[in-house]
Amino acid sequence: MTISIDDLRAKLAGTALPGGELVLEEYESAIADAAFRAEDDAGGFAHPAWFIIASLRGMGISVDELCALAEQEPGDTLLFGNCEVEQFRPLTPGTRYRTYAEITDVGSRTTRDGSRLDHLTVSVTVSHPAADAGRVTSVYLFKRATEAA
């Protein structure tokens, strides 16, 4: 049975995730540029989409583990709802970053087809010893296959 939204909120809202480290390797930066179809002169900076990579690799848990925290059940569908990147200073290849992650919000709504759509908002701050480089706020959606009791 799907967990109620009140129980899910009580369980997860405000939960700090382990966070971790991201070493932005130069070869990965070059490969990412090709995969993201970047054609610019990088100017010594990593592609800003690396913040998205950092937000997934830097939670300190996998997406599968995030799904488990959200009590995803067979038939529930995970969707990437929204992503906000704030770039305070660009990331640079060859640099080691620290990441801090937290589930900042848990909510739910009913879709037009009557499905229950829960959301988890995860904030990841990407930090260098000198200063924060940026922050990513991602909204993960869980379309539930069954109604809550």
The residue (of 29 and 127) whose beta carbon lies closer to other proteins is: 29
The residue (of 43 and 129) whose beta carbon lies closer to other proteins is: 43
Smallest distance from other proteins to CB 67, Å: 10
The first and second tokens of residue 109, run together, are 């709504």
Smallest distance from other proteins to CB 39, Å: 7
The residue (of 16 and 63) whose beta carbon lies closer to other proteins is: 63
Smallest distance from other proteins to CB 34, Å: 7
Smallest distance from other proteins to CB 26, Å: 14
Contact positions vs other proteins (CB under 8 A): 28, 31-32, 34-40, 42-43, 45-49, 52-53, 56-57, 62-64, 78-87, 89-90
Distance CA 12, CA 135 (A): 20
The residue (of 87 and 95) whose beta carbon lies closer to other proteins is: 87
